[in-house]
Every structure is written in structure tokens, then in C-alpha cells.
Structure 1
Amino acid sequence: MVIKVERGRPTPEELAAVVALVQARAAAAQAEPEGPSVLDTWAAPARNVPGSVPTPGPGAWRTSAWPR
């Protein structure tokens, strides 16, 4: 990457600050996001379940056919 000064006479400290800023922004753009991404509610698998699911246990198969 080449940085060219078009106008003015920046001091070495000013140039160092600009280069540090450009490098930090470039590193931040390439960094991967931290943590898991949030699922959109439209894409949530739970949306496809038509209602409440019966609790597992004796007789659950019988209640699965009851109207809700």
C-alpha cells in the first residue's frame, strides 16, 4: 500500500498516526466477528412447529393426536 501526500508538509508523527489508523481499520475489516451470529426469527426452526409439543412420557403418543 502506498500513501501519497498531495498537499502540505506533515511531520513524521502525523504520518505515523495516519499509517497506524489505516492499518487498524484494515485489520478490523478483516477480523472475523466474535461469538455466534444471531438467528433471524424468520429462519428459526421452531417457527415450523404448529403448536406445543407433548411432553415425553406414558401416553404422550395418545395426546399427540388431540386437537390443540
Structure 2
Amino acid sequence: MTARGDAGATREAGEARRPVLRVVRGRADAVDVAALTAVLTARLQAPGPTRAPAPVAVWDSPAHRLGVTAPGPDAWRTSGWGRR
């Protein structure tokens, strides 16, 4: 049984297969083809780009309703100040 299942096993021995990679220009030796195959295999197995998290609507945020703001650049200094 082949990696493609039984469909590959039913081919006749005389039938020609199309090559997966084809050198269009230049002369590639076995090392070049092996390097290209390794790069393409690694690229195809790499995970795709991850999606960014969905933005949170400000009007639905409990912190926004309570008047809590995000800490600013001077938050460490102003944290000791009393609330107004």
C-alpha cells in the first residue's frame, strides 16, 4: 500500500509519473534537490500565521464603566498618591 492508498498501487509499471519538482534553469545536482525538498517540506509543515485576538469593545468593558483607566508611563510614581 502506498502513501496515497490503493490508487497508487493500481498503476501499471509502464505508466510514467509526472515529476513533483522540475529544474527549469541551471543544473541541479542531488544535493541541491535534497536541500530544496527539505526547505519545502519544513515550510509546508510549519504552522500558519496566528490570528490576532478580537478587539474588545470599549462600551462593553466593565473597567470603562467604572472609570478605571490603563496605567500610564508615570503609574509607578503616581500609585502612592491618594485618590481624588
Question: Shorter-normalised TM-score: what interval?
Answer: 0.3 to 0.5
Between structures 1 and 2, the one with greater helix share: 1
